[in-house]
Structure 1
Amino acid sequence: MQTMAEIGLPSTFTSGGLASMVASTQACRFEVAEFFVSWQGVLTVAYTGFPDALLELKSQVADFYPGLVKEFPGSKWPKTSIACLRDNKRLSREDLEKLRDICSKENSYLTSTTPLVEVNQLSIVLFANCCLEQTLCQTDVSLALPASTAGPNSEHCASVRAVLDEFRRENLDNYYFNASKDGNRTAHYRGFKAGVTLVHFLTSIPRALARFRERVERELPNMYDWFADRTLHITVRAIL
């Protein structure tokens, strides 16, 4: 695969600018929180929050590119999207309850087998679809060592926790409106769309994911399309 420099994108995305800011960012890690059903029924692995080093990087990127689009809500809290509803599928209230049960039963196995995700590298990706299964070029940038072992700050953790708490059992009646919305189906993720994003690709796939997939397919057969393991990632910031 070509790098961004080889394809002719501006040096602010490669040797300087964004790549330079990434290279100056301290390596860090995410703490795994839980399986989470996001808006439009997207299945995710959620994390407790962005480490301070990555929050600072996000601020630097926004300052360096004043014309950058406003950050999307979905990247303000860290997650790995693992599956989307198939085209023309919609969650029922009963479906959402089933997913809540599956997540509750699988969360302890997830956090016990994959408590942390080490982040030693970020990738600047020119993609051809939103799930990154089709990419045009990629520049990988190593983060600065030694790695930080600090968790996310308490204020940020609280804001992320507020998002995740919307999926608590006692809140499902209200949350169902957002979980059942149209959009973000297979065509959205796998149809052609070009852009640039800054991500961390998972270097190992959580063991709990296979068991989670199996339970979802058993309880909700043929509802979900699962993203390829090789493309699973945490979005730090959309760029273009």
Structure 2
Amino acid sequence: MAVAEAVAGPSAPPSSSTAESHLEYLTRNTQACVLRPYCFFVSWQGVLTLAYRGFPPQLVALKQQISDYYQSLPKESPGSRWPKTSLAALKEKQRLTPAQLQRLNEICREQSGIFQTPGQVKAQAVMVNSLSTIVYEARCLERVISRHVVQLLQPADLADAAADEVQRVQGVVAEADDEDYWFHASRDGNRENHYRNAALGVTLVHELACFQQPSSSTPAAAATGGRISSSSSADGGTPKATSLLGSILAPSTVFSGGNSSSSSLAQLQGSSGVWSSALPGIMSKFRAAVEAEMPGLYAWFDEKSLHVTVRAIIV
């Protein structure tokens, strides 16, 4: 294990805060913010994820402050440099075929279109009003030894992710359209046992609050016995292949500067509803679509364990 070692620096907490760790101090002084869902995405090793538009400025600053202060932290892995929620991993001894990857990419396109629904921004967005430092016994956080939850500063800053953060996520998602992406999606590793077998570690995450309370099944899922068939093209045939990135965002919404951020903020401020209230149903439909096409291929993580990793502390 790589263990963080604190070093003195200008960001040291005031003497009145000596009862708390510096990590807690940094977290407590971070303003609450919002993560906006971007798309469903097949990550490396075939892991199914929900990608967000980018880390908002508050979390970018916190990640940098943690790295600056704890200089013995393990180097941040590429997978935690863009915000996502891992939903499922391939079961042991399973490997995606090129045809399966193509169909999964189509399902991701079909199911991600809902993130462009007008008036639904708040119901889909994740309010990051707390962060949890978790000592885990399984990487998927289905087995937790201890957790320490810190509330973030209010009021929340609803600003969108900065241009470079948005472009980072767009670059990751665009890889799915590369001809050789199957090589990455079918690589060894990160199967079910990687996430569920015993593995001690510490991580700083936001736990998705919409899954922490019991909720009823979505009407669409109930009507189909928990499985929802993916949509097809207008002529009833196989959905037409398009760019994953291009199909998620209309040209006017691809980030190109301040106007996109201002528009996103206006949509969020003008939308109604409860934060993340639509996410459980959206994720349920995505899972049902995958299971309808490829039953038993994936191991889905317990909904109450779903989270967004901000920074690994001990791995």
TM-score, length basis structure 2? 0.70
1:38 correspondence with 2:43: yes
- Check conservation: 1:120, 1:143, Cα contact below 8 A: yes
State the shift of 1:109 in Å. Answer: 2.3
TM-fit CA distance, 1:208: 0.7
Query: Is residue 165 of structure 2 the alignment partner of residue 156 of structure 1?
Result: yes
**What residue is the counterpart of 2:309 in the other structure?**
235
Matched residue type, 2:108: C
| AA matched with 1:59 | Q
Q: Match for residue 194 of structure 2?
A: 188
Match status 1:210 vs 2:284: yes
**Structure ranking higher in strand proportion:** 1
1:156 shift after superposition: 1.7
The aligned counterpart of 1:4 is none
Alignment of 1:1-240 (within 5 A): 15-112=20-117, 114-168=123-177, 171=178, 173-205=179-211, 206=279, 207-240=281-314
Root-mean-square deviation (CA, aligned residues, Å) is: 1.4
- In structure 2, the residue matched to 1:7 is none
Structure 1, unmatched stretches of 5+, are 1-11
Q: Which amino acid aligns with 1:220?
A: M
Q: State which structure, 1 or 2, has the greater radius of gyration over its C-alpha atoms.
A: 2
Segments of 4+ in structure 1 off by > 2 A?
Answer: 109-115
Aligned-partner SS, 1:204: helix
Deviation at 1:15, TM superposition (A): 2.0
- Distance in 2 (CA, whole Å) between partners of 1:101 and 1:68 is 38
Shift in CA distance, 111/45, structure 1 to aligned 2, threshold 3 Å: farther
Work out the number of aligned pairs and report it.
Answer: 225
Partner Cα separation in structure 1 for residue 127 and residue 293 of structure 2: 32
Q: How much has 1:111 moved relative to structure 2?
A: 4.9
Per-residue CA deviation, residues 11-69 of structure 1 (Å, 9 max, x unaligned), is x9x82211110000000001110000000000000001000000000001001111111
- Report deviation, 1:219: 0.6
1:6 alignment partner in structure 2: none
- TM-superposed CA distance for 1:110, in Å, is 4.4
User: 1:181 corresponds to which letter in structure 2?
Assistant: R
Structure 1 residue 157 displacement after superposition: 1.1
- TM (norm. structure 1) is 0.91
CA–CA separation in structure 2 for the residues paired with 1:219 and 1:125: 35
Superimposed CA distance per residue, residues 197-217 of structure 1 (whole angstroms, 9 cap, x where no aligned partner): 000000115121111111101
